[in-house]
Structure 1
Amino acid sequence: MAGKEVELVDQGTGYGLIIGLGALFAILILISVRVQRRYLLEDSDHAEMFMVANRSIGTGLTASAVFSSWMWINESMYSTVFAYRWGVAAPVWFASGLSFQIALMAVLGIAAKLRVPCAHTSMEFVRIRYGQLGHVVFIFLNLINNSAMVITASQLVTGISGMNLAAATVLIPAGVVVYTAVGGIKATFITDFLHTAVALSIMIYFTLKVLTNEHVGGLGGLYDKLRRSENLINVDGNYRGSLLTFKSYKSAIFGVVLKVCNLALVIMDTAFWQKSFASHVRSTVPGYDLASIAIIAVPWGIGTVIGLSARAIENTPVFVTYPHAMTDDQINSGLVMPFVLKSLFGSSACAGVLVLIFMDITSTVSSSLIAVSSILSFDIYKTYINTSATDRQIMTASHIGVVAYGLVIVGWTLAMNYAGANGNWILYFLPVTTSPGIFPVLFTLLWSRQTKLAAIVSPLIGLCAGIGVWLGLSYSMFGAVTIATTSEQMPALYASLTSLFTPAVLSVAISLVRPASFDWQKFLQIGLVRDSGSESSRFVEPSDSGTSEGEKAYGRDGISGLGNASGAGSDEKQPFSAIDHVATQHETDQLVHPLDDGTLRHIRKWLKIAIGFLLVNISVTILIWPLSMYRDYIFDKTFFKSWVSVSILWQFFALLAVVIYPLFDGRHAIGMGLTGFWSDLRNVGSGKESVGQRVDSSGEGAKKAKA
């Protein structure tokens, strides 16, 4: 295994951290779920709360959760790898490949609230529009998208600590399965916040600690060492072979591949849709857009400082592999950061890397577990196995789904690991296999003329075409189809573009041959999960602070501002609670949007804001910023120092946006929980009724009254 000749930390430390952190977070979430239920009237034993948090999440927590879900281990660990390979340009190309996708998801999320207000998964409205076959095709594409998230983490943990690969693969997701199965999506929002707080703090600490180390010498010292190293290093494809130029051909190619890959990882990941469903209408756009700005900090800052520091010190006695260079296997397995930290600070810093890896991977896994369990429970169990499933039965299916998918992740990861896949290969594998569904999914929500045949056929042809181009070019250009040849840039680039654009062209062409127009009203037959005798269908309206203080129920369907355009609230004008069939025209005429006129106007306003922000984001992150820098220029010392300083300031902005602000935004809910807990402590043994008892009794009373 990569890195086995360099001892970074002992196995005991690795096992202790992975098992201990998993157990710690499982306990914290169990406590959190209890607090939510006891003091905030949020019961994760009901499907609406488990899967979409009663659609009540505020801006701060939404931003933190989206940031955490998008903070894949690749962004922190592999940004240093690519900076080491290609220089100062690579982290920016990495960062620019992360942002616009989240801004696009803000547009889709708020559009979904307008057109599919009661959806639980993106697959629900796919089935309404394209029927059973289309439903199955897109479920398949979604599951591919969520299949490869643990590979990088397991290899890094093994490379750092020497843990058994199979043990690392099993233990990393084990604790996540426990707390996700119990707490649902609200638990993932809370753990996402905790993971983000810890991971960002570690990244900022490592960035500053490395930069100020005597062997690096600060901004000026790092620059001087890089200039001196240019006599030994000639980066193929870079202007004058320099690490300090933005004109880097391979970085630019990687940036294009990454943009396609990440677009698929967002659009085809039900977790991002589900978090938009769970957020309040006032929180979706600002939450997602705030995360899209903050995420730039992850690869830019730490990738630039640590990746370039590796180049600066690798030929000095302080470096752990000296007098030898790092092997390709070590680099491809993401060990640049651990080697730099081991060289400068010893094994304790590598233990910190293990904590960072755990934080990054578990936040991603928890979101995907909820998303896939929702697909299994709503889109498979409720749709094909038990169409009259109650809230309780759906919850049971969801819990089973979390555990089952956890086992699938483990099995698939072990298979990929023993087949020789690594994190570098995954970055090129994912866009080829996940991109075919992007345009058909976008058209499903945004273009009424995409036909059923187009939606089903085009992504499958695109998938086959992309894989064919990928394998064919790998063979024709490099003489074989292996992990190494399929990890080359050009086959992956052409294959990714083929997978992305073939379905777009085919879908439009097929749809125009036999035109049809979809009635958006049919989406309104997706309804809430109701169970007699439960309060599970209650949506809440957060107060202006974005917290749960002053939460108000709106009608038995629970949508904030529930009612029809005329303000009537009769039962016959509510959306259907099941989707056992696609509505007939007569049934469609009876469907009325569950949101009132004021709320719909509010959503349309946010939709315009989201589109405007998306256009600005694309202009800046894809066109103005990287392309204006792509010229015959080598950074001078002043510009380099300013460049790195801004990247570090961006890290602190991210900390403010997705760690500090959520605490302020949720201050009232935090206060309610602490007040209730303190009241219970004071009343223990006094015989007085506690806040929790009053909440419990009021809940029981409500149930009895409803019965």
Structure 2
Amino acid sequence: MEPFLSQSIGYAIVLGMGLVMAVAVTILVKIETKWLGTKKTSEWFYTAGRTVKTGLVASSVVSAWTWAATLLQSSSVAYQFGISGPFWYAAGASIQIVLFAILAVELKRKAPSSHTFPEIIRARFGNREHKVFLFFGLMTNTIVTAMLVLGGAAVVNSLTGINIYIAVFLIPLGVIFYTFFGGLKATFFADYLNASFIFVVVIVFVITIYFVNHSIGGISGMYHKLSTAAALKPVEGNSSGAYLTMASFGALIFGIINIVGNFGTVFVNQSYWQRAIAARPRSAVKGFLTGGLAWFAIPFTLATTLGLSAVATGVSLTPEQISSGLVAPTAASHVLGDLGAVLLLTILFTAVTSAGSAELVAVSSLVTYDIYRTYVKPAATGRELIKISRISILGFGVGMGILASILFNMGASLEYLYLAMGILIGSAVIPLSLSVVWKKTNRNAATSAAIAGLVSGILAWVFTSNFLYGHISIVSTGQILPLLIGNILSISTSAAITLIGSLVKPDDFNFNTMKQKILVADDKIRSIIQHDSDEKLLKSTSRLSYRYGIALALTLVIVWPLPFYFSGYVFSLGMYQAWIFIAVSWAIGAATWIVLLPLIEARHGIFEAVKKISAIVSLASRTDLSSRKTEMNLVSNFNYLQGDIKRILVAVDGSVASLRAINYAGSLFEDSARARIYILNVIEWTNEDEESIDSLLVSKMEEEGRKMLKSIIIPEKKNEYERIVRHGDPASKIAELAQKLDVEMILMGSKGLGNAEAGIGHVSAKVLRSTTKPVVLLNNK
């Protein structure tokens, strides 16, 4: 296919958007850790502090579940089957997200300290079973990543002409960068930006095609063009050969495969378990329920718009181009020209990179916790875990490109992988789910079921391909009937073995033992987990997840579509208009929820960050360091401050000047009964690997700091003094605490222990630049 855009535009989008996303996410992570006081530990790296709220969970689910296939394959089935294709794509892949809300809250009830789902399996069953489900977890992440990169590279190549082998390596670059430094929280930030952008572009496409573009003729024009297209080339298996009907046998078969396959890519995908782990219990349930419904709007609305536009405007594509996901970009270019191609390519790239980030963190967590900490070095420190995780991110990020190149050479397309994934990973869904929610699940039945389901699914897939088509190849195994039989047999065999085995020989597992087997080293995280362990609240949340999750799933795949299917109804113009109105309204409502709720929930943090950044900017615009130093020295001589100052922060490091500062503070307050002096000792920790610091090491450092402060002789009015110990960058901590305590003055030595020859120490100089509070510097003499 002749490229719609030049290679220069392609490189600008791939490299430029990657850079913009990497910089934006890194800045957001820096704001949280530097100005909002978040401590970066190994727990934070993988669980985002376990305090993520509903809006960010929902936007993250939307982004992580928006693959290249979401934007491409959904339009392909619209092109093939008509209006039923986008619905079955959206409904068949939404129910897994809303049903996962059940597992999310059960995780909080049964294994609140967990980091990965194989960790739960190991705590319940043991090492042998742990290795089996770890294999399925890694295979799921590998398949999903392959689809992301394959789909993204194929479209980049078709739209811009960039060599596909170059594209598969360029796509992961920005992802590796911000995931390497920011961990799971960086992924949440990237997900929010990506989901917001995708919804904006989807709405732009819908409004432009249905209400602005004259070649389509609006909703009624689209309706008449689709009716004409069906008359010229009826759709095989559709009621009356129409595009505007839900009675499509081909779409129904696709829907079944879609449902079966996507259970594996959600329930056996560590990235979704990590989102559940990162959220509070109620936030997890609401986030997955609303996130699943919001995501529904993306393939449903976009494919109903672009996929049907390709049919209406007479776009002609080969089966290979359709299977490569080129319907959407071709339609976008055909209807909106270069702008359409640029918009489609941009949201595709951001979707691939954002979802790819989720897969990177997921693989990293599996390697770090389930391989390294479990089998290589169980006593690994937080710093070592961070190191291993970053090596994993780099390794898997590069591997993404290599794997996609291999699959491309084999002839495997996005559509092929999407339809085959249920055969390969679906057998682990039922054993894994029941192991988390049902105490009677038998360990041998669950493990053998996962393996037997995989083997039976592959054998049925290959045998049927050979029986029907006489050979085994990418072409024969990519046919719909072998794929359908393999998908169904994989998950049904596994379910039957698990249920029968557990009923014949039931286990009686006490889930409370998991809380003792899976430990968290971080004191702050442990306190958050204990705070959320209200069993009454958890049971109430669990009932909500079952009630709404099952009700929504049944509505989407049975109550809504099946009456249309069995009636054989072909849409009238009025019904088609109502259908489009539902799609557009759903997209706008979902966009509003996804964009605004995270901002509302984070408003206090946003205001705090803006306030601190504004203070720094204001300070930077003031006089230079020398004039400020003169000003501060003058302030120390103003006697009127004695009556006004009520709170003062004294920074102490054991130097002569800092000890003089304590005495000077006492003299300032000698006539004030209501004054308060805060004596601060900051233990310097400025290593680039600050995030890897362990809570045990923190406790030891702070204990040493407290001993040092207790050894200092202070004036008699001891009720005026409060000792405080912190660790980190001394200047930053001094400025931060001064702001938090709202002191009227900072008092410290002009130079510390490490600045014997300097006129003014580097810490003192940095404090002058970092705070708007008055600073008094005392010399050693």
Question: Same fold, TM exceeding 0.5?
Answer: yes
- Aligned match of 1:36: 32
Q: Deviation per CA, 1:523-557, whole angstroms, max 9, x where unpaired?
A: 11244543xxxxx5413xxxxxxxxxxxxxxxxx2
- Aligned match of 1:26: 22
Q: Deviation per CA, 1:474-525, whole angstroms, max 9, x where unpaired?
A: 1111222222222222111111111101111112333345443222122112
Could you tell me which of 580, 583, 608 is aligned with 1:647?
583
Map 1:129-144 → 2, pairs under 5 A: 129-144=124-139
- Aligned match of 2:245: 245
Please tell me whether the aligned partners of residues 458 and 507 of structure 1 are also in contact (alpha carbons under 8 angstroms): yes
- Aligned match of 1:189: 188
The normalised TM-score by structure 2 is 0.78
Q: Please state whether the residue corresponding to 2:474 is helix, strand or coil.
A: coil
- Aligned match of 2:724: none
Structure 2 unaligned spans of 5+: 633-648, 652-677, 686-697, 705-781
- Aligned match of 1:573: none
Please tell me whether the aligned partners of residues 59 and 286 of structure 1 are also in contact (alpha carbons under 8 angstroms): yes
Map 1:191-210 → 2, pairs under 5 A: 191-210=190-209
- Report the CA distance between 1:264 and its aligned residue: 0.8
Cα distance in 2 for partners of 1:9, 1:36 equals: 39
Cα distance in 1 for partners of 2:179, 2:681 equals: 27
Please tell me whether the aligned partners of residues 538 and 558 of structure 1 are also in contact (alpha carbons under 8 angstroms): yes
- Aligned match of 2:289: 289
1:705 corresponds to 2:702: yes
Please tell me whether the aligned partners of residues 199 and 356 of structure 1 are also in contact (alpha carbons under 8 angstroms): yes
Q: Please state whether the residue corresponding to 1:146 is helix, strand or coil.
A: helix
Cα distance in 1 for partners of 2:261, 2:352 equals: 18
- Aligned match of 1:547: none
Cα distance in 2 for partners of 1:230, 1:619 equals: 31
Cα distance in 2 for partners of 1:456, 1:632 equals: 43
- Aligned match of 2:313: 313
Cα distance in 2 for partners of 1:698, 1:348 equals: 55
- Report the CA distance between 1:83 and its aligned residue: 0.8
Deviates more, 1:675-684 or 1:641-650: 675-684
- Report the CA distance between 1:410 and its aligned residue: 2.0
Cα distance in 1 for partners of 2:683, 2:114 equals: 26
Structure 1 counterpart of 2:11, one-letter code: Y
- Aligned match of 1:332: 323
Please tell me whether the aligned partners of residues 17 and 350 of structure 2 are also in contact (alpha carbons under 8 angstroms): no
Cα distance in 2 for partners of 1:331, 1:102 equals: 27
Q: Please state whether the residue corresponding to 2:528 is helix, strand or coil.
A: coil
- Report the CA distance between 1:342 and its aligned residue: 1.7
Per the alignment, do residues 645 and 614 of structure 1 end up closer, same or farther by CA in structure 2, a change over 3 Å counting?
same
Cα distance in 1 for partners of 2:683, 2:278 equals: 23
- Aligned match of 1:123: 118
Per the alignment, do residues 512 and 619 of structure 1 end up closer, same or farther by CA in structure 2, a change over 3 Å counting?
closer
Please tell me whether the aligned partners of residues 98 and 295 of structure 1 are also in contact (alpha carbons under 8 angstroms): no
Cα distance in 1 for partners of 2:703, 2:112 equals: 25
1:229 corresponds to 2:239: no
The normalised TM-score by structure 1 is 0.86
* Bigger Cα Rg: 2
Please tell me whether the aligned partners of residues 432 and 499 of structure 1 are also in contact (alpha carbons under 8 angstroms): yes
Q: Deviation per CA, 1:231-285, whole angstroms, max 9, x where unpaired?
A: 2111000011111111000001100110011111100001101101001123111
- Aligned match of 2:535: 600
Q: Deviation per CA, 1:638-670, whole angstroms, max 9, x where unpaired?
A: 111111111011110110111122111211111
Cα distance in 2 for partners of 1:560, 1:383 equals: 22
Please tell me whether the aligned partners of residues 72 and 328 of structure 2 are also in contact (alpha carbons under 8 angstroms): yes
- Aligned match of 1:113: 108
- Aligned match of 1:589: none
- Aligned match of 1:506: 497
Structure 2 counterpart of 1:161, one-letter code: T
Cα distance in 1 for partners of 2:684, 2:518 equals: 25
Please tell me whether the aligned partners of residues 69 and 367 of structure 1 are also in contact (alpha carbons under 8 angstroms): yes
Q: Please state whether the residue corresponding to 1:484 is helix, strand or coil.
A: helix
1:15 corresponds to 2:1: no
- Aligned match of 2:528: 559
- Aligned match of 2:376: 385
Cα distance in 2 for partners of 1:91, 1:439 equals: 27
Please tell me whether the aligned partners of residues 390 and 529 of structure 1 are also in contact (alpha carbons under 8 angstroms): no
- Report the CA distance between 1:559 and its aligned residue: 2.2
Per the alignment, do residues 521 and 529 of structure 1 end up closer, same or farther by CA in structure 2, a change over 3 Å counting?
closer
- Report the CA distance between 1:603 and its aligned residue: 1.4
Map 1:28-67 → 2, pairs under 5 A: 28-44=24-40, 46-67=41-62
- Report the CA distance between 1:110 and its aligned residue: 0.8
Q: Deviation per CA, 1:553-588, whole angstroms, max 9, x where unpaired?
A: xxxx222554xxxxxxxxxxxxxxxxxxxxxxxxxx
- Aligned match of 1:636: 572
Please tell me whether the aligned partners of residues 107 and 607 of structure 1 are also in contact (alpha carbons under 8 angstroms): yes
Q: Which has the higher contact order (CA 8 A, sep 6+)?
A: 1
- Aligned match of 1:90: 85
Q: Deviation per CA, 1:44-78, whole angstroms, max 9, x where unpaired?
A: 3x111100011100111111101111112211222
- Report the CA distance between 1:706 and its aligned residue: 4.5
Per the alignment, do residues 51 and 699 of structure 1 end up closer, same or farther by CA in structure 2, a change over 3 Å counting?
farther
Identity percentage of aligned residues:
29
- Aligned match of 1:299: 299
Per the alignment, do residues 697 and 418 of structure 1 end up closer, same or farther by CA in structure 2, a change over 3 Å counting?
farther
- Aligned match of 1:538: 524
Please tell me whether the aligned partners of residues 99 and 550 of structure 2 are also in contact (alpha carbons under 8 angstroms): no
- Aligned match of 1:475: 466
Cα distance in 2 for partners of 1:510, 1:111 equals: 22
Q: Please state whether the residue corresponding to 1:387 is helix, strand or coil.
A: coil
1:682 corresponds to 2:678: no
Per the alignment, do residues 457 and 224 of structure 1 end up closer, same or farther by CA in structure 2, a change over 3 Å counting?
same
- Report the CA distance between 1:205 and its aligned residue: 0.8
Q: Deviation per CA, 1:124-157, whole angstroms, max 9, x where unpaired?
A: 1111122111111111111111113322111121
- Aligned match of 1:355: 346
- Aligned match of 1:256: 256
Structure 2 counterpart of 1:50, one-letter code: F
Could you tell me which of 579, 583, 593 is aligned with 1:657?
593
Cα distance in 2 for partners of 1:697, 1:662 equals: 37
Could you tell me which of 138, 146, 162 is aligned with 2:141?
146
Please tell me whether the aligned partners of residues 528 and 537 of structure 1 are also in contact (alpha carbons under 8 angstroms): no
Per the alignment, do residues 431 and 425 of structure 1 end up closer, same or farther by CA in structure 2, a change over 3 Å counting?
same
Per the alignment, do residues 177 and 109 of structure 1 end up closer, same or farther by CA in structure 2, a change over 3 Å counting?
same
- Aligned match of 1:549: none
- Aligned match of 2:179: 180
1:71 corresponds to 2:66: yes
- Report the CA distance between 1:345 and its aligned residue: 2.5
Q: Please state whether the residue corresponding to 1:296 is helix, strand or coil.
A: helix
Please tell me whether the aligned partners of residues 141 and 359 of structure 2 are also in contact (alpha carbons under 8 angstroms): yes
**Count of residues in correspondence between the two structures:** 634
Q: Please state whether the residue corresponding to 1:109 is helix, strand or coil.
A: helix
Structure 1 counterpart of 2:454, one-letter code: L
Please tell me whether the aligned partners of residues 57 and 284 of structure 2 are also in contact (alpha carbons under 8 angstroms): yes
Structure 2 counterpart of 1:446, one-letter code: V
Cα distance in 1 for partners of 2:356, 2:256 equals: 26
- Report the CA distance between 1:699 and its aligned residue: 8.9
Per the alignment, do residues 624 and 609 of structure 1 end up closer, same or farther by CA in structure 2, a change over 3 Å counting?
same
- Report the CA distance between 1:613 and its aligned residue: 0.3
Cα distance in 2 for partners of 1:699, 1:558 equals: 24
Cα distance in 2 for partners of 1:537, 1:208 equals: 51
Structure 2 counterpart of 1:330, one-letter code: Q
Q: Please state whether the residue corresponding to 2:126 is helix, strand or coil.
A: helix
Please tell me whether the aligned partners of residues 179 and 361 of structure 2 are also in contact (alpha carbons under 8 angstroms): yes
Q: Deviation per CA, 1:86-124, whole angstroms, max 9, x where unpaired?
A: 111111111111222111111111111111011111111
